[in-house]
Amino acid sequence: MKDRALRIFSKLAEPVDAILFVNEEDPMSDASFFYATGATSGLFEHCPVVLYPDGRVRIITSRLEETSARTTPAEVLPYSSPEERDDLLRESLKGVRRLGINGHGISYHWCRQVESTVPGIELVDVKKAVTEARMIKDGKEIEALREACRIASRVAEEIPDLLRIGMPEYEAGAEIAYRMQRMGASSVSFDTIAAFGPSSAEPHYEPGARQLAVGDPALFDFGCKFRRYCSDITRTFFAGRVDERFERIYSVVLESQRRAIAEVRPGVEGRAVDAAARSYIDSTEFRGALIHSTGHSLGLNVHDGGRLAANVDIVLEEGMVFTVEPGVYVPGVGGVRIEDDVLVTRNGCELLTSANKELRVI
């Protein structure tokens, strides 16, 4: 984990004496805690981790999480009470005047707690450096992402066999989640989206009781976690038949995704990838129908800090992982989205998700 700590410090715009990550009660946890420590199990509620400029990582852990903490290469200091925890934190921050914190992940409560525990300390938000460091995946991270993508891809291939006319959305979503865990995932990356008919025009739809009917587009957006790392894939199918309009929509979305993926390589601006998909869609009769960014970074969080979007300033680097997920949506009628996960490699990109994405009537 030393390399990860050093990477964060190397990204700082201004120096700090140490960096602190700390979790609140689940689900208010900071994924950067697990990035810095490499812990793959445990909640670590109210447990600080301190990073030092020389790469040392120290976990101040409750006895409840001590076993999980000792599976990591970090230095482990267990405590039995909040008072003992605060003493260990005070000792760990001895001589620290400027303390980096991740503004995206730390609670107001913990900011006040640190200030009262170490009077006079200055808190410096280093969220930008943390985000930039986490976006470049190392070998262990890529290995976990590959397995999460493999599991999701296998389940995507099984969707045509599990669907039936009359199946409600919530049942299809539950079946997908079950199959991913049965194949080795620890959990879903996010609540599975199963959207039939007009519901498929709502990108962040929550599955309901609508039943699959002949002629419906059936959109599934899902992913799983493996060693805490997330996959994210979307496939759209058609029940029984597909009309000419949706056949056309599907071909447009598929081509826009192909063009966007072809742009992914080191040195390319993320907005150029977005433009490749968006400009093609806008050149068709579906101008303006891509209502979200073309993709987002992927890692310990399903939205891991970066986006492929016209208004985001990001240059692709080897080791970054993004989704590429253009879509066309017709409110009240339905939509099509096709999403894959890609790793930026030295000379281009590697497709991490592999499920068939040709138009399929089931």
Q: Cα 107 from chain centroid?
A: 21
In a domain, 361, yes or no: no
**CATH number reported for the structural domain that contains residue 103 in this entry:** 3.40.350.10
φ, ψ for residue 262, nearest 5 deg: -65, -20
φ, ψ for residue 272, nearest 5 deg: -70, -35
Q: What is the model's pLDDT at position 28? A: 85
120 and 55 in one domain? Answer: yes
Q: What is the model's pLDDT at position 197? A: 98
123 and 208 in one domain? Answer: no
144 and 128 in one domain? Answer: no
Cα distances from 257 to residues 89, 120, 276, 328, 341, in angstroms, run 49, 52, 8, 11, 11
In a domain, 58, yes or no: yes
- Domain final residue, candidates 89, 116, 135: 135
Q: What is the model's pLDDT at position 27? A: 82
Provide the residue range defining the domain that includes 111: 2-135
221 and 117 in one domain? Answer: no
Whether cis (ω within 30° of 0) applies to the bond prior to 27 is yes
Q: Which residues pair with 79 in a beta bridge?
A: 62
197 and 74 in one domain? Answer: no
Strands (E), the chain: 18-22, 48-51, 57-62, 75-79, 98-101, 122-125, 187-188, 193-196, 217-222, 224-226, 229-230, 233-238, 295-296, 307-308, 321-324, 327-330, 334-337, 340-344, 349-351
In a domain, 280, yes or no: yes
Q: What is the model's pLDDT at position 26? A: 82
**CATH number reported for the structural domain that contains residue 286 in this entry:** 3.90.230.10
81 and 189 in one domain? Answer: no
pTM assigned to the model: 0.95
188 and 112 in one domain? Answer: no
Structure tokens given for 154: 């296998």
Nearest-angstrom CA–CA distance, 230 and 210: 28
Q: Which residues pair with 193 in a beta bridge?
A: 221
194 and 244 in one domain? Answer: yes
Nearest-angstrom CA–CA distance, 21 and 38: 13
- Domain final residue, candidates 104, 135, 166: 135
Q: What is the model's pLDDT at position 334? A: 97
Q: What is the model's pLDDT at position 278? A: 98
Nearest-angstrom CA–CA distance, 326 and 79: 49
Q: What is the model's pLDDT at position 338? A: 98
* DSSP labels, 165-209: TT-BHHHHHHHHHHHHHHTT-SEESSPPEEEEGGGGGSTT----S
Q: What is the model's pLDDT at position 154? A: 98
Residues in the chain with pLDDT values less than 70: none
119 and 150 in one domain? Answer: no
Q: What is the model's pLDDT at position 1? A: 75
306 and 245 in one domain? Answer: yes
178 and 271 in one domain? Answer: yes
Q: Which of 329, 310, 308, 311 is nearest to 320 (CA)?
A: 308
83 and 45 in one domain? Answer: yes
